[in-house]
Structure 1
């Protein structure tokens, strides 16, 4: 991953010492801290992490790989063992801290730090995205945490790589109850693939952050909802804001639908006129 931030050894592998020295004199390479340099157009978040004495890791690094991460203002940094002792709020993984191989941790190292740093729900959301994007396989994910605690294994058991967005994962995790069947990304004849099918007949669709920016998508999904209703399904459509920031208002309403067994209403038999 090229973020425009380099260790001295990485620079030496790319160019002769004379060219590196000239680039530093000319301002085409900027010193961030001892042994670390950046180009003027380097990724700002990565450059700030290195300037602070660490490297980008955990959720911040995973986002650079295209992984869906919960919204936050926090930048996740980590250092080696010596640096970590000076920054108690930085991310750590179980066991010793690894050496810094680059300005942004690789996927495996980032996941190890996320497992210790993130709340349980956020870690499941991240793992769902990693699995859905096929950045790791379920076996590889399980192998990575073979020696993990029982609690972490229970968290990993809740992962489901079928979810196509973190908000889908959030809803699935938050409404989960014993004996409540929740299936992500179910294909329904006449409707298409829906985000979540609860029980037999309750569809929950979760719109993305930029959903309303696409008029065609907006119109098409309203037609899908109408088709689903015509087939006997009940459709609930949630926004990004509702799931991420207004869940305390949304959850009791969904639970009331489930209490009324809306999700178990039988689908009518469709007959030809």
Structure 2
């Protein structure tokens, strides 16, 4: 196998011994280095010129990406990009400027320099703040990529209590990271919250709170498209005609101002459902 092909299978960067294990000969590696199609990062590490810098850094640290740093590799929802890389390290080395994970892996690693999906999620559950871990797990769970039972079986003991609490909040009803966050915020303060509710004459709404308050979470680009904007306003009108109330929130409301959003919701809930007057 050509060294270039071997490196592509390994994520674009790898230890020289891994490239050889894929079938690339020492002669072919030297030839590729002379041609510039393969580069030497440091002694024992090779890369393709276009290799992902995050992968290169992980291999240089003799580590694998995990937790929030591996979320994008599996298209997981991510509330905040990590300020420092999260590495799984098993060699006793401690790399400065990273968050080190040392929990034994539950599954073999892929060819690329990151851990398998179940281990990404287990590391997130034991490392990240609860909401950040929740959105990662829920995005995988909704797609059917992971079972909660698998994660629970690997979260035993007192040190995993918070992680098990996070798993108890995982639900299939969310269609986006925002819906997951809002659902947890509402339920954590004791608001009766139904998700993805079908209402005759209106359609499916994101949330129905206490049986009468509809809450919709608007993605700016989609909901400000003229045709969708008109449809949303007609849905709101029909909801009010049926005696319900409607609130709409945006990304910034849910992620950056959750307390203010909850305050608005509480105030509307205190007023009760709309009253319809008939002649």
What TM-score range do you get, normalising by the shorter chain? 0.7 to 0.9
Determine if contact 1:80/1:99 at 8 Å carries over to the other structure.
no
Offset at 1:3? 4.0
Query: 1:167 and 1:38 mapped to 2: Cα distance?
Result: 38
Q: How many residues align?
A: 266
More displaced 10-residue stretch of structure 1: 172-181 or 193-202: 172-181
Offset at 1:181? 1.7
Query: 2:21 and 2:76 mapped to 1: Cα distance?
Result: 29
Q: Which residue of 2 aligns with 1:63?
A: 72
Determine if contact 2:107/2:118 at 8 Å carries over to the other structure.
no
Show CA shifts across 1:70-116 (max 9, x none): 13252532142345544485142546899976412210111121112
Q: Which residue of 2 aligns with 1:157?
A: 168
Query: 2:62 and 2:224 mapped to 1: Cα distance?
Result: 39
Aligned-partner SS, 1:111: helix
Query: Is the alpha carbon distance of 1:88 and 1:121 closer, same or farther for their aligned partners in structure 2, counting shifts above 3 Å?
Result: same
Q: Out of 138, 152, 169, which is 1:128 matched to? A: 138
Determine if contact 2:89/2:101 at 8 Å carries over to the other structure.
no
Query: 2:84 and 2:225 mapped to 1: Cα distance?
Result: 30
Query: 2:228 and 2:17 mapped to 1: Cα distance?
Result: 48
Determine if contact 1:196/1:203 at 8 Å carries over to the other structure.
yes
Query: 1:74 and 1:225 mapped to 2: Cα distance?
Result: 40
Q: Which residue of 2 aligns with 1:271?
A: none
Offset at 1:2? 6.7
Aligned-partner SS, 1:159: coil
More displaced 10-residue stretch of structure 1: 27-36 or 249-258: 27-36
Matched, 1:244 2:255: yes
In our comparison, the structure showing a higher alpha carbon Rg is 2
Query: Is the alpha carbon distance of 1:202 and 1:96 closer, same or farther for their aligned partners in structure 2, counting shifts above 3 Å?
Result: same
Pairs within 5 Å for 1:253-268? 253-258=264-269, 260=270, 262=272, 265=273
Determine if contact 1:185/1:195 at 8 Å carries over to the other structure.
yes
Q: Structure 1 length normalisation: TM-score? A: 0.80
- Identify unmatched segments of 5+ residues in structure 2: 1-8
Query: Is the alpha carbon distance of 1:193 and 1:81 closer, same or farther for their aligned partners in structure 2, counting shifts above 3 Å?
Result: same
Query: Is the alpha carbon distance of 1:175 and 1:29 closer, same or farther for their aligned partners in structure 2, counting shifts above 3 Å?
Result: same
Query: Is the alpha carbon distance of 1:86 and 1:61 closer, same or farther for their aligned partners in structure 2, counting shifts above 3 Å?
Result: closer
Determine if contact 1:185/1:196 at 8 Å carries over to the other structure.
yes
Aligned-partner SS, 2:101: coil
Q: Structure 2 length normalisation: TM-score? A: 0.79
- Identify unmatched segments of 5+ residues in structure 1: 269-273
Query: 1:8 and 1:153 mapped to 2: Cα distance?
Result: 40
Q: Which residue of 1 aligns with 2:113?
A: 103
Matched, 1:72 2:81: yes
Query: 1:267 and 1:141 mapped to 2: Cα distance?
Result: 47
Show CA shifts across 1:225-249 (max 9, x none): 3333333332211111221123243
Q: Which residue of 2 aligns with 1:234?
A: 245
Query: Is the alpha carbon distance of 1:35 and 1:107 closer, same or farther for their aligned partners in structure 2, counting shifts above 3 Å?
Result: farther
Matched, 1:225 2:233: no
